[in-house]
């Protein structure tokens, strides 16, 4: 693996590498992606191998100009109302952290879409991502650059540590802004469905196209059975078991002081931390806060980096406080819920 900077010369190297079928990790405004040519079966197969990603979990294709959408998507296959919604969303919210699932063109390899007749597409706003894609002249398949099921990378170091041997280049442009994956929206049927909450708040989407439907509460899903492709109940998980608590449960948990062993408290905000009894780190307890001032955007940006750091401490358990259920808070809670699935057994000890 070779590291590249965000200089124009290096981004040209990244673009050429993608054209040649190699794998390039690069930053987007959400998280770092692991890019390969979306029309090259060899590159697509290598992405699945590198991530140990199951073949039933389809990839998002990234574009860097509006005209590229119709190379990937068959818009005419949509009824008029959905075609209109697609135009409104893509023209208003792209480039940005929104992925649209649309009917696919037959030229898009089945490997990219896990054999579905739909394809997920996104136009990222990060200037480095845009240049890498533009210089590659490809439509770039780019899932998050992490081993399947583990925390997404928000810094180049996260990728080096976990996937460094599997990929050809990493473009290092520092921390990503949003820090949480894109919102995924299914536009192939009415009502439009939110498949994954993410960096584009649901409220913003509903302002433009009206009410959208939820995929459902993932915690009610039968274990192991995805409700939509790739929507596994356990995902984005640190190695350390995580128990997700409401604000009140978190305060009770801390105040009861029953912790037997080493643990981490991950507070959503500084106010809750101050209301609790934990003042400082001890040998057994580490304390982290997602956003001192309780801001969901700041908390989302910190989420994966903090979880990477917490995982390196190898404590017995992470107690994490839920975010408020609005804006990016919904996406934060979705990631924490999926991270907590293995820890549900532990809910008994709240
Ligand atoms: P990732 O790029 O790893 O953040 O995840 C991409 C996610 O997008 C997948 O796990 C799916 O949940 C979703 N996705 C991609 N393609 C499709 C599709 N054709 N239909 C429904 N969901 C999709
Ligand atoms: Mg992912």
Question: Atom 19 of ligand 1 has which residue's CA nearest to it?
Answer: 119
Residues 6+ apart with CB under 8 A from 184: 60, 99, 101, 120, 194, 195, 196, 198
Measured in angstroms, how far is the CA atom of residue 196 from the centroid of ligand 1? 9
Which residues surround ligand 1 with Cβ inside 6 Å?
Answer: 57-58, 60, 101, 113, 116, 118-120, 143-144, 181, 184, 195-196, 228-231
pLDDT one-digit tens code per residue, 314-345:
999 999 999 999 999 999 999 999 999 654 43
**Ligand 1 atom at minimum distance from 143 CA:** 2
pLDDT one-digit tens code per residue, 219-253:
444 444 566 766 777 788 899 999 999 999 999 88
* Average pLDDT score over the chain: 91
Residue 219: predicted pLDDT? 41
- The arithmetic mean of pLDDT across residues 27-50, rounded, is 97
Asked if pLDDT for residue 143 goes beyond 80, the answer is: yes
- CB count, 10 Å around CB of 240? 21
| Preceding amide of 191 cis, omega within 30 | yes
pLDDT one-digit tens code per residue, 102-127:
999 999 999 999 999 999 999 999 99
Measured in angstroms, how far is the CA atom of residue 99 from the centroid of ligand 2? 13
Asked if pLDDT for residue 142 goes beyond 60, the answer is: yes
- CB count, 10 Å around CB of 137? 14
Domains of the chain (ranges plus CATH)?
2-214 (3.90.870.10), 242-342 (3.40.50.11030)
- The arithmetic mean of pLDDT across residues 262-268, rounded, is 94
pLDDT one-digit tens code per residue, 172-210:
999 999 999 999 999 999 999 999 999 999 999 999 999
Measured in angstroms, how far is the CA atom of residue 284 from the centroid of ligand 1? 39
Residue 227: predicted pLDDT? 60
Measured in angstroms, how far is the CA atom of residue 110 from the centroid of ligand 1? 13
C-alpha 154/C-alpha 186 separation (Å) is 25
């Amino acid at each position: 693996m070779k590291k590249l900077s965000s200089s124009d010369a290096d981004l040209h190297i990244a673009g050429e590498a993608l054209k040649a079928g190699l794998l390039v990790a690069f930053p987007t405004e959400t998280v770092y992606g692991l890019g390969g040519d979306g029309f090259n079966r060899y590159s697509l197969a290598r992405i699945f191998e590198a991530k140990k990603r199951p073949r039933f979990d389809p990839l998002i294709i990234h574009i860097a100009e509006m005209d590229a959408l119709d190379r990937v998507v068959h818009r005419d296959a949509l009824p008029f109302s959905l075609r209109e919604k697609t135009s409104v969303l893509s023209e208003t919210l792209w480039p940005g952290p929104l992925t649209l699932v649309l009917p696919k063109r037959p030229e898009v390899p089945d490997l990219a879409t896990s054999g579905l007749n739909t394809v997920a597409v996104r136009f990222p706003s990060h200037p480095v991502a845009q240049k890498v894609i533009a210089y590659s002249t490809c439509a770039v398949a780019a899932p998050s650059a992490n081993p399947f099921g583990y925390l997404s990378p928000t810094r180049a170091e996260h990728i080096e540590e976990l996937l460094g041997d599997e990929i050809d280049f990493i473009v290092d442009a520092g921390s990503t802004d949003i820090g949480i994956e894109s919102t995924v929206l299914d536009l192939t049927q009415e009502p439009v469905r939110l498949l994954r909450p993410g960096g584009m708040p649901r409220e913003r989407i509903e302002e433009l196209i009206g009410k959208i439907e939820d995929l459902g509460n993932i915690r009610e899903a039968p274990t192991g059975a995805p409700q939509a492709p790739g929507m596994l109940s356990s995902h984005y998980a640190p190695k350390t078991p995580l128990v997700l608590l409401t604000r009140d449960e978190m305060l009770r948990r801390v105040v009861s002081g029953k912790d037997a062993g080493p643990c981490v408290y991950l507070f959503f905000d500084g106010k809750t931390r101050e209301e609790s009894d934990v003042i400082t780190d001890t040998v057994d307890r580490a304390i982290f806060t997602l956003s001192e001032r309780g801001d969901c955007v700041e908390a989302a940006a910190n989420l994966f980096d903090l979880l990477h750091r917490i995982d390196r401490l190898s404590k017995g358990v992470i107690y994490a406080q839920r975010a408020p259920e609005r804006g990016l808070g919904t996406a934060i809670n979705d990631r924490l819920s999926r991270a907590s699935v293995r820890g549900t057994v532990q809910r008994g000890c709240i």
